Amino acid sequence: MTSPSSSSFNHRVALVTGSSSGIGYETTLMLARNGFLTYATMRDLKKSEPIKVVQLDVTDDRSVKNAVQSITSECSKIDVLVNNAGYALNGAFEDIAMEELKAQYETNLFGVARVTQAVLPLMRKQKSGVIVNISSGVVPMGGFPGGSAYVSTKFAIEGLSRSMRYELESFGIKVILVEPGVIGTNFFNAVVVAKKSKDPSSPYSRIMEKMAPRFEEIMKNASSPELVARVVLRAITDENPGLIYLAGKDIEELKEANRGMSDEEFYTMMKKNFNLDSIESTIGAKN
C-alpha cells in the first residue's frame, strides 16, 4: 500500500473499520489496489496483516478520536468512510440479557455513530465525502428467529443512513448502504450466543435447534467477501451513487420475491425456509 506522504493529496483517502478479517479486510485490499490511500482499522493490532493499520475500537470515544486525528495528521483529509465493524448476538429475545443487548448496540449502532460523527466535521470542511454503512440482507429479509438483537441494529443503521442522507447532501457528502447476503467469512463462527439461550430448558430451545442446521445449509451457497468489496468499490466510484447496493445473488432474489408478495405471504415463505412451519404443535405439547 502507498505510504502516507505529500502525495496523499493525489489519492482519495479511505478509512475502513473492522478490517482484521472478512468483508473489512477484503474491502481494505480492494480499495488500496484501486488507488485509494487506505487505512485499515481494528481493535487488536496483533490481528493485522502486512498492511498499514490504525488502532480503532468503535466502542471507545478516545480510540476513535485518536485514530481519526492520526489519519488526518498524515493526510489532512478522509474521503471515504466504510463502517463495517460489527458482530452478531444470537438468541431468542426473551433470553437476551440487557447487558448483552447493550453491548450489541454499542458496537453495531453506536460504533457507526461514533466514527461517523468524528469524521463528519472534516468532510463538511472538504465539502465532499462518501459514507458507506455495511448493513445486511436481513433488512429486506425482515429478520430471522434468534436474530432480534442483530437484526434490529441493522434496521437502526438503515434508518440512521436514510435520515443522514437528507442532512448531508447539501455539504457534498453522500451516504450509501450496502446490504450483503450470506457471505463466507468468519462472521458466523464469531457469533455470540446469549448465555440464557444456551440453556436447553429455554422455551425457545426447539426453535434454536431448528435454525442451526438451516444456517449450515445456507452457508454452503455463501458468496465471497471479495464480492462485497467489489460492490463497495463500485458504489463509491459511481458518479451518482444510489442509496442501496445489494451484494449477493441470494439477497437479490429474495428482494425480488418480496416485491411480488404481501407481508403475510412473505412471512409464510420465510417461515417455511427456516423449517419452522410445523413447529407450533411441538412447542405447544412441550409447554
Catalytic residue annotation: 150
- How many C-beta atoms lie closer than 10 Å to residue 167's C-beta? 11
Query: How distant is the alpha carbon of residue 278 from its chain centre?
Result: 32
Grid cell of 105 as nine digits: 448496540
- In 3-state terms, what secondary structure has residue 43? coil
DSSP reduced 3-state for 116: helix
3-state secondary structure of 262: coil
Cβ-count burial of 272 within 10 angstroms (0-12 exposed, 13-18 middle, 19+ buried)? exposed
Who's near 206: CB < 8 A, 6+ residues apart? 279, 282, 283, 286
3-class DSSP assignment, residue 179: strand
